[in-house]
Structure formats: structure tokens, C-alpha cells
Amino acid sequence: HINICLYINMNKWIEILKSVADPLRLRLLLVLAEKEMSVCQLMAVLRTSQPMVSRSVGILQRAGLLKDRKEKKLRFYRLNEEMPSELKELVQILKESLRDDETYKRDLEVLKKCEEFKKRTGRCDMKAFKEFMKMIKQGGLE
């Protein structure tokens, strides 16, 4: 599936593969392959803490897989659109091979609900995150 890229040396490949060898980082990469998201959105979709999200995006950024931008007080993350085609192909292979994985399907389901919630409330901040998490706990995803 993956052609050897002359521009990515072995050490860089090792760093990249290690960066996605963690379940949370792999999930994070896969949901960011769907759309750009803020830290609060990532916390909600992945159902994890801010320090875990921040640590994970940092590792993926250092590996060259993610980019970020700041908007007011919020930081948004997305796939690095400038990454070599081999890395884009790797992301596609991961998405395709995991499409039937229950955790991945659940993450995509929560992502969809998170987007609906954001459209309804017009907000993407910590207060909105707390409201969304309350909705999830009360069975708002069923």
C-alpha cells in the first residue's frame, strides 16, 4: 500500500509510526481526518481530559501530522495539509482498515452529535463542552 518516500528517512518514519501507536493519538488523528476541531471538541468526542488531548496533539504535531491555529482563546487542530502524500495515504489506510472498529464508529457518532450541538448553540467553548458532556451522560446520543 505505501510506497517508500525518498523524502522521509527511516528515523522520521519511526517517529511517525510511534506517534500513532497509542490508542488515543490514533483516535485523535482519525477524527481530525474528518474535520478541524478545537481542544474542547476533541475532549468531548474522545471523552478524555484536556491534558491528555494537549499531550497527544503535541506528539502528533512534532511528527508532522497536525497543524494548529488560534482563534481568540481557542486552539484548533487539523491534519497537516502539507504532509507528504505517503502520510496522507497512511491516514487513508488507517481510516479504511478501522471503519468497522466500534471505538472509531462511536467517535464518529459523537463527532456528529458534537457538530449538531455546536450548530444549535453557536458556541465552542468550555461552557458548551460541559453542556455537551452533560447531554452525553444523560443519554443524549441514543
In-domain check, residue 5: no
In-domain check, residue 3: no
> Which domain does 121 fall in, by range?
10-137
pLDDT by residue, tens only, the chain of 142 residues: 455 454 567 888 888 899 999 999 999 999 999 999 999 889 989 989 999 999 999 999 999 999 999 988 888 999 999 988 888 999 999 999 999 999 999 999 989 988 887 787 776 666 777 777 777 777 765 5
In-domain check, residue 128: yes
**CATH number where 118 lies:** 1.10.10.10
- CA nearest neighbour of 12 among 114, 117, 83, 106: 83
In-domain check, residue 76: yes
In-domain check, residue 1: no
In-domain check, residue 142: no
